């Protein structure tokens, strides 16, 4: 005789849990830090903020690298959030996979665009 102590739980998705929660917090901190550094750069720039002043802010290689790392953090942050939305609200596995692939293609394209902008300045 078998005793059933509750319904069997259906496990779906990857359940990244703590890793995703932590990556969201770390990338958010990095994004906020970049925003503060950029605001400080703008506040301490003498004269009007025109293209030349904006370009001067990003002339330093460390600032370009920091901006690119922050852009990657934004893309990772977006990936985790959007993937969780697809996992929660798109029940069909095929459609969810299609949406995941579209999201990845879009984010990789955005990363290439950021790289092109930062090193073309």
Tell me what percent of the chain is helix, strand and coil, each rounded to the nearest 5: 75, 0, 25
On whether 77 is known to bind a ligand per the annotation, the reply is yes
How many alpha carbons fall within 13 Å on the CB side of residue 72? 7
How many alpha carbons fall within 13 Å on the CB side of residue 13? 16
On whether 16 is known to bind a ligand per the annotation, the reply is no
| Residue list for the binding site for a ubiquinone | 89
| Residue list for the binding site for heme | 77
| Residue list for the binding site | 77, 89
């Amino acid at each position: 005789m078998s005793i059933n102590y509750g319904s069997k739980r259906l496990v779906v998705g990857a359940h990244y849990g703590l890793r995703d929660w932590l990556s969201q917090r770390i990338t958010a901190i990095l994004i906020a830090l970049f925003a503060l550094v950029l605001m400080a750069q703008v506040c301490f720039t003498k004269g009007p903020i025109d293209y030349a002043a904006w370009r001067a802010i990003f002339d330093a290689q460390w600032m370009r690298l920091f901006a690119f790392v922050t852009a990657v953090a934004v893309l990772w942050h977006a990936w985790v959030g959007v993937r969780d939305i697809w996992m929660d609200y798109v029940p069909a596995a095929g459609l969810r996979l299609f949406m995941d692939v579209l999201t990845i293609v879009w984010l990789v394209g955005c990363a290439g665009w950021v790289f092109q902008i930062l090193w073309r300045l």
